[in-house]
Structure 1
Amino acid sequence: MKDRINGPVRVRFAPSPTGHLHIGSLRTALFNYLFARHYKGEFLLRIEDTDRERSKAEYTDSILASLSWVDIQADKPMVIQSDQIRRHQEVFEKLVAEGKAYKCYCTQDDLKKRAGDELFFKYDGACRSRDDQPDMPYVIRFKLPDFQEISFDDLIRGDVTIPRDQLDDFIIVRSDGNPMYNFVVVVDDADMRITQVIRGEDHISNTPKQILLYQACGYTVPQFAHIPLILGPSGNRLSKRDG
């Protein structure tokens, strides 16, 4: 793997304070921390607390205590995602102004009617060319550029390719004005100058969307590594509910 690592290393662990840290997340933190130490790089910590309803300060304290228990310390001051809201807004407004994202006024009823009996309905781009601005709630969708497929070199899995027809114009900002995970994580990782994103393989479906956002924003795309999940006795992945 060493010859695939480009330049100085800076990785991050980015838990959400919506529960106590479980063993799978702690393992991800260890992978990132040891990776940084092996390559004489930096390990950063970001608390992703934009889920305002479920995020609690007590869980942040619990996460920090768990990391301390395994002697993991960040090399820079901890970043709180909710502190970056103005920055997130600045970026998504720029994407809209550049025509790389757009306001979508489709209601849930609209989408259900158009989906019909389809189990996996993809947004049909109905608002892509809409130039009126009715006085009604809207989300902001990312406008997929023209491409046949998107590929990346996963440091663990090797070449991964996703065809365009598996994606649609996905939502980056909710109707309440709060940005979505795939958007904020790209802005934050770019601002923190993260070079490798090491995380569970359950995130691999997010990677093509994030790569497209990196490119649209003019950011350098980091390297990705998706590690296998830890499964419980039932064969299901461990979650915060499992402790």
Structure 2
Amino acid sequence: HDGLSWLGLEGDAPAVSQSAQATRHAEIAAALLENGAAYRCYLDADEVSALREQAHAEGKPVRSPWRDRTDASDLPFVVRMRMPDSGETTIDDAVQGSVSVQNTQLDDMVILRADGSPTYML
């Protein structure tokens, strides 16, 4: 919390180490899986690279083929957010102001790695 005090900025809540919140992040990811807002993606690193290349070449977001599948696998998986297919997301940024992005341009972001550790996007 002292890191920005030299600028006259003080925190409005106690400092929290994100790694100390890993269990809570996993709980939230499980709830998102349960309500369909996230999904298990079983692609390996090479498959993700190929998917990313293809999506970039086509000007599309990264959307895993596992997004719409319900079959389970014993393979390692990551948990991805299921981004909306339509509409837009608006973020109120302190520097840029209101920033809107079409949801069709948003990747399905990884929120839990295959080892179960969170990416801290929550």
| CA distance 1:108–1:122, change in 2 (3 Å) | farther
Partner of 2:7: 30
Partner of 1:44: 13
Map 1:72-221; keep pairs closer than 5 Å. 79-114=16-51, 115-116=53-54, 118=56, 122-183=61-122
| CA distance 1:150–1:32, change in 2 (3 Å) | farther
**TM-score normalised according to structure 1 size:** 0.42
Q: How far off is 1:151 after superposition?
A: 1.8
Aligned mates of 2:92, 2:50 — CA distance in 1: 39
Q: How far off is 1:101 after superposition?
A: 0.5
| CA distance 1:96–1:31, change in 2 (3 Å) | farther
What secondary structure is seen at the aligned counterpart in 2 of 1:43?
coil
| CA distance 1:102–1:182, change in 2 (3 Å) | same
Give the AA of the match of 1:148.
Answer: G
Aligned mates of 1:151, 1:171 — CA distance in 2: 20
Structure 1 segments, 4+ long, off by >6 Å, are none
Q: How far off is 1:111 after superposition?
A: 2.4
Structure 2 segments unaligned to the other structure (5+ residues): none
Structure 1 segments unaligned to the other structure (5+ residues): 1-12, 16-24, 34-41, 47-78, 184-243
What secondary structure is seen at the aligned counterpart in 1 of 2:80?
strand
For these two proteins, the number of residue pairs brought into alignment is 120
**TM-score normalised according to structure 2 size:** 0.77
